[in-house]
Every structure is written in C-alpha cells, then in structure tokens.
Amino acid sequence: MNGPAREWQERPPLRLARGGHDVATTQGRIFVVGGFGTTELLNTVESRRTHGDGEWHSVAPMRTRRANPAAAGLDGLIYVAGGIGVDDSSLDGVERYDPRSDSWQSVAPMPIRRGAASAAGLDGLLYVAGGLPHEDDTATSSVDCFDPRENSWRPVAQMHTPRARFRLLAARGHLYAIGGISRAGRQPALSSVERYSPKSDTWRPAAAMHVGRGLPGAAVVKHGIVVVGGTSRLTDGVLLDSSETYDIDNDRWQRLRARLPHPTGTLVSAEDGDHRVLAIGGSPASGGVPSFIEMITRAVLSLDTVT
C-alpha cells in the first residue's frame, strides 16, 4: 500500500538545518523559528512565500534561543511562546514578530513555563496548550489564552489528556490537539485527538489517528488536516514516514499512500498554497537533517488514500 516516492518533490532547502523548531504562517509567508542545529539552540528565523520559487530568506532573529517553542500566526503577526532554553529548562517568555518592521518585541509572559507546548491563533486570541512546565518530562493538560489587546493571559478549559510535543491547529472555528506524549519514557506516542470549542469552552474527543505521533508535521488544508511523520516512541527513536489526513466533516482519518523518502521526526508542516503541504526540516532516521519536501495534497486527499 506504499505509494511511490515521486509523490514527494524536493524544494529549495532551509538555509540552516534544524529540528525541534516550529512554524507559523501569516500574510502569505511561512516562518520557521528556533529549534536546534548540530551544535546549539537557535534563535534564527527563516521565511519564504507560500507561492513562488520556494527560496528561504533569513529575517530578524528572536531575542531568545528556543528549542521546541510554540509558534502561531495571529492578525498579521507571529507569536513564539515558551520552549526549552539553553539550560534545558522550560521557558515562559513570549515574543511577537512584526513582518512589516522585521522586528521582535516581548509581550506578557505566560502564567507557567511551557516547553514543547503548541500554539494556535483563533478569533483574535492566541492559545498555548500543554507542554512541560517542569524538568521531569511530565506534560500538563492546561491551556492559556492571550488577548493582545489587553496584553494578558487567562486560563481556559483543560484538555482531557496531558500533552507535550504535539500539534495544536485552528480549523473551522475550533482547535485540534493532535498526538504528542504525556510522559517521557517508553510509552508510545498518543494517537488521540481532541477538539476545543471557544464558544462553550469545552474539549471533546475526536477520531484518533491510525498511528501515535509525537512531534509530527501538521497543517490545515482545504479538506481538513494533514499529519506527516513524527515519532511513535520518543526514547526509542522510532521515526515514521507515513502520513494521514483528517476529514473534519466526517470526523475520520485516512492513511495516505505517499511516504516520506526518509522516516522523519521533529519536523513541521505548512500549507504552501495550491493544495500543497510542506514537510520542513526535522531529524531523519538515516542521520543528518533534511531540507524540506513537498506533497501534492490535491491528489493525496482525493485520489491516493486507503481506508
């Protein structure tokens, strides 16, 4: 049931190989932030257009070096929250990037430290969920909401499951918390998914993925959500080359035939326009760090799925 590798097409590489990074999109541009390189944590940021030749360009660096930060686009700006700092402790600091001035500024810190959390922007608010508040690798289920107009945070309903190293996405007026881990060790990654309604301030279970995934790539596309790669068991380094897509209307996941050329974890994904999704950076099982790869989701979603 594996599809041919030609369904993934190479595109221009990142300027700097990285894993443990995050991605956010605003104003027709994709921004890759932070993470780790071969020898150090990164504060560097790269950007490219969602259409065009796909070349990456450096923009102003963040003030803080961060691995596994939580990034999201909101109202034309990029927010980066928390992460794991140079001393391996979780961070509570939040920075905001303005593409018009190519500059970063600090905003109110989160109420708690969150390493390996995830963020999404929805209806003028920034949500940051889960993550590792402490150094014992035990995840939290708590969620905080930032109002840029007030420069303040408030708690909202907690997820049913503690999660770190997962993906939080906003789609059709809801938030989706996808996969991740609850505690480091030999437990498998989570396949479960939860959906949050801001109107009722409640989380409800959604259909689970076919495979548990920690730190996969994940992107919202026209027909739903595409999830790519990740790790099925964090400490064992069991990386995945498979992908699946979520049909929001029917609450159903379908496997995709297309396989990554290399099993890859700690990658990120973003929609590239024209029904394409990118798999960006990350750590492959074969060693080294790939640049990024492109998948044509129009064909994958409608023609290349298996039930």
Longest dimension (CA), the chain: 51
Among the residues of the chain, which ranges form H helices? 297-303
pLDDT of residue 303: 34
Closest alpha carbon to 155 in 201, 93, 91: 201
Question: 6: closest CA among 260, 201, 216, 243?
Answer: 260
Round to whole Å and give the CA distance between 252 and 237: 28
Q: Which structural domain range is residue 58 located in?
A: 17-306
Paired tokens of 306? 């298996």
Task: Let me know if residue 3 belongs to a domain.
Answer: no
- Whether residue 69 is contained in a domain is answered as yes
Q: In this structure, what are the phi and psi dihedrals at residue 146, rounded to the nearest 5 degrees?
A: -110, 130
Within a domain: 128: yes
Taking CA 275 as the corner, what is the angle to CA 227 and CA 30, rounded to the nearest 5 degrees?
75
Q: Considering the entire predicted model, what is its pTM? A: 0.93
CATH number at residue 142: 2.120.10.80
> Does some domain include residue 4?
no
Task: Let me know if residue 214 belongs to a domain.
Answer: yes
The bridge status of strand 193-197 relative to strand 202-206 is: antiparallel
Q: Is residue 1 part of a domain?
A: no
pLDDT at 26: 96
Q: Please give the pLDDT value at position 286.
A: 56
Do 225 and 176 touch, CB atoms closer than 8 A? Answer: yes
- Tell me how many domains the chain contains: 1
The pLDDT of residue 1: 34
- Residue 135 located in a structural domain: yes
Per-residue pLDDT of the chain (307 residues; tens, 9 = 90+): 343 334 788 888 899 999 999 999 999 999 999 999 888 999 999 999 998 788 999 999 999 999 999 999 999 999 999 999 999 999 999 999 999 999 999 999 999 999 999 999 999 999 999 999 987 789 999 999 999 999 999 999 999 999 999 999 999 999 999 999 998 656 799 999 999 999 999 999 999 999 999 999 999 998 799 999 999 976 667 899 999 999 999 999 999 988 888 899 999 999 987 678 999 999 876 555 666 666 666 554 443 444 4
pLDDT, residue 52, reads: 76
User: Residue 94 has what pLDDT?
Assistant: 98
Q: How far apart are CA 256 and CA 272, in angstroms?
A: 18
Is 6 among the domain residues?
no
Q: What is the pLDDT of residue 295?
A: 65
Chain position carrying tokens 């402490």:
134
Distance CA 146, CA 126 (A): 5
